[in-house]
Structure formats: structure tokens, C-alpha cells
Structure 1
Amino acid sequence: MKRRSAAAAALLLLTATASVPLGLSVPPLVVRIAYEIERYGIVYSWGGGHGVDPGPSKGTCRGYRGSIRPCPAARTRGLDCSGFTRWVYALAHGEDVLGPGNTDDHLRKMRRVREPRPGDLVFFGKVAKRSVRTHHVGVYLGGGQMMNAPETGAVVRIDTIKKKKDFAGFYRYRR
């Protein structure tokens, strides 16, 4: 599996710079990889991207609350929002730094920042001193935009941060 992940990472890195929009001056590796993944039109799948290794996988219908019935996740190979950010960060850092958990688990590996930079993660939900209850995450691209796997029936895409409710803040990976 590691060899396959390394080959996928190498392929993405070789082509990542070609798909980044002009006007960005050498964006961070996280952003370049996110743009490359977007090119592939990977579909959303609830629970997708949480296999042993990061990357597209079949999802699960456990906990599914989407609008498409019956739940398509168990037969759909794709990514959910945290599966997408997990894969992007694994490719950028050379290892699975976020792990297989959900958005709450991933946020705990980050530190909140006031001044976001492209490549930081943007979380949605409720974050308090004693509790974390997030429901969405995306890769911050700059200019109020994020790359994300938004919902069942969609593909990995760019959305404005304001389009989602419950903005919880920008977070940077703790090294």
C-alpha cells in the first residue's frame, strides 16, 4: 500500500503545478495538490477517504444524513470533507499527519490562527475550550475561497467560505 501511495503522490506532485490557476505566485504544496485533486472530479462519499491509507475509498452509510436516498456512500468510491483534507495533507507532508479520524479529530492536531495562509484548514461547527463539534472542513486557498468535498452528489470543488454556515476558524497544522 505504501508503494502505491508513494506512486500516487509522485504523480500528483509532477502534475500539480500545471493545474494551478495563473496569478498565484508559487502557492504552497498543499494548495497545488488540492487543485490537482480537483481536476480529477472525485465524488463525495460519506466516510470516503478514511481507509487504512489516505485517498478515495468506499464510504459508509453509518451516520449518513444526506438528502440522496437510499444512501449511496457504501457503493461510492470517493472522499468526504475530512477524507479530502487528510489525503491532501498526507501527500503534502509525505505521511498521514491527520490520521483516519473525523473533523473533530483533525482539528485537535491543528492550532487556530488569526491570519490564514493558503494551505491552512478552515473548519465549520462549534469550537469551545471544553468541546469541539465540527461538521465540515476545507483547504483554504486565499481570497475567501476553499477547496472542499461539500456534500453527497457533488465533487471536490472550490466554494466561498461564506457559503457555509457555522464558520469556526482557520487552523494550521502543528509540526
Structure 2
Amino acid sequence: MARRRLVLAVTALVVLLAGAASMPLSTFVPSRIVRIAYEIERYDITYSWGGGHGERPGPTKGTCLGYSGRIKPCPAARTRGLDCSGLARWVYALANGRDVLGPGNTDDHVRRMRPVERGLPGDLVFFGKITKNKIKTHHVGIYLGRGKMMNAPETGASVRIDDIGRRSDFAGFYRY
């Protein structure tokens, strides 16, 4: 009897997955983004200024060029990891099957997105100042819902979940 229930459960799961596989990919990207972000957090990836900006998305050694973090001397050039935009780039590349954000910093990434009034899980949340004529951002996170984001916050920290209200210069939600 227990074996029969297991077979029925597995069959139901296969039918569900087969049905989901026939739906357009774009339907599942936001939840895929969130799932991937949570998976990456489990690996305790260290923040590295400039990390994640290699030819292909993913953890790389960072750079000390432009570094102004609190840990001295700059550890980025010897630390394999991600900065905030490197994390966003990698998660979006994994979720979309290609590097949709491309290289660059938060200003470059926000230009590839469209603003939305209300964020949904999987959107990016930017911090800094964004006006019609000027973009000057300094941080990005992956919105998880309920005021939370996954982000690579600062030198000495690992990828983690933070409240978006923790930062005072919220610039908006953006969607690819």
C-alpha cells in the first residue's frame, strides 16, 4: 500500500513537471531567480569588491581599483567572490540561461532594466539616485518579497538576506 502511494506521488510529480516544461520559460523566471538566489546563499560566498565581473558571470577575484571599504589593506584582489552587481549578474544569467545583464556596475545594469512601481520577487532593487537625466547607484539586491533582498552587502560579509529598509536611499524596483 505504501509503495502504491509512492508510485502515485512520483507519477503526479512527473505529470506536473511535464506540464510546467511545456509552458513558456518567462513564466518561471522570477521564481527561478529567487530559488537560485537562495541556493547561492547556502554556499557562503564572500563579498569581493569587483568580484563576479569576469568574462562569464560567477565568482571571481575582485579588484582594489576604486575600493574604499573598511577593511585595509584591500582584500579584493586575493578574494574570490562577488560584489552586489556581480551577484545580480550571476543569478540572472543562471535563471535566463545567458548573461542578460552583462558586465558593468549597478549603473550599467539599471539601464538594462525597466522600472516598476511595486516589486515582485525576482526583481532587482537599486539604491542610490535615479532621475530622468542621471543614474548614480551604488548597490543592488535581488528582491525576495516582504521587504527582503538577497545581496552581497560589503567587504567582510557573505551573500545574505537583508531588509531593504536597512538602507536609506532606496531608488526603486526594476524588472528585466
Q: TM-score, normalised by structure 2?
A: 0.83
Q: Secondary structure at the match of 2:109?
A: helix
Q: Which residue of 1 aligns with 2:109?
A: 106
Shift of 1:116: 1.1
Code of the residue aligned with 2:40 in structure 1: it is: I
Give matches, 1:96-135, under 5 Å: 96-135=99-138
User: Which residue of 2 is the match for residue 137 of structure 1?
Assistant: 140
Distance of 1:113 and 1:88 partners within structure 2 = 20
Q: If each structure's helix is expressed as a fraction of its own residues, which one has the higher value?
A: 2
Instruction: Determine the C-alpha separation between the residues in 1 that align with 2:167 and 2:82.
Output: 18
1:159 paired residue among 137, 157, 162: 162
In structure 1, the residue matched to 2:96 is 93
Please provide the CA RMSD for this pair: 0.7
Superposed structure 1 runs of 4+ greater than 3 Å apart = none
Cα distance between partner residues in 2 of 1:68 and 1:154 = 11
State the one-letter code of the partner of 1:136: H
SS in 2 for 1:84: helix
Answering whether residue 43 of structure 2 is matched by residue 40 of structure 1, we say: yes
Please tell me whether residue 73 in structure 1 is matched to residue 73 in structure 2: no
CA shift digits 1:36-64 (9 cap, x unpaired):
00000000000000000000000000000
Partner amino acid, structure 2, of 1:59 = G
Aligned residue identity for 1:68:
I
- The answer to whether the aligner puts 1:54 opposite 2:54 as a matched pair is no
Give the distance between the partners of 1:149 and 1:164, measured in 2 at CA.
13
Q: What CA distance in whole angstroms lies between the structure 2 residues aligned with 1:110 and 1:92?
A: 15
Aligned-partner Cα distance in 1 for 2:79–2:31: 30
State the match for 2:22 in structure 1. none
Corresponding residue SS for 2:57 = coil
| TM superposition score normalised by structure 1 | 0.83
Which amino acid counterpart does residue 67 of structure 1 have in structure 2?
R
Percent identity (aligned): 74
- How far, CA to CA, are the matches of 2:131 and 2:166 in structure 1? 22
Where in structure 1 are there 5+ consecutive unaligned residues?
A: 1-26
Distance 1:165 1:55 in 2: 28
The answer for unaligned runs of 5 or more in structure 2 is: 1-29
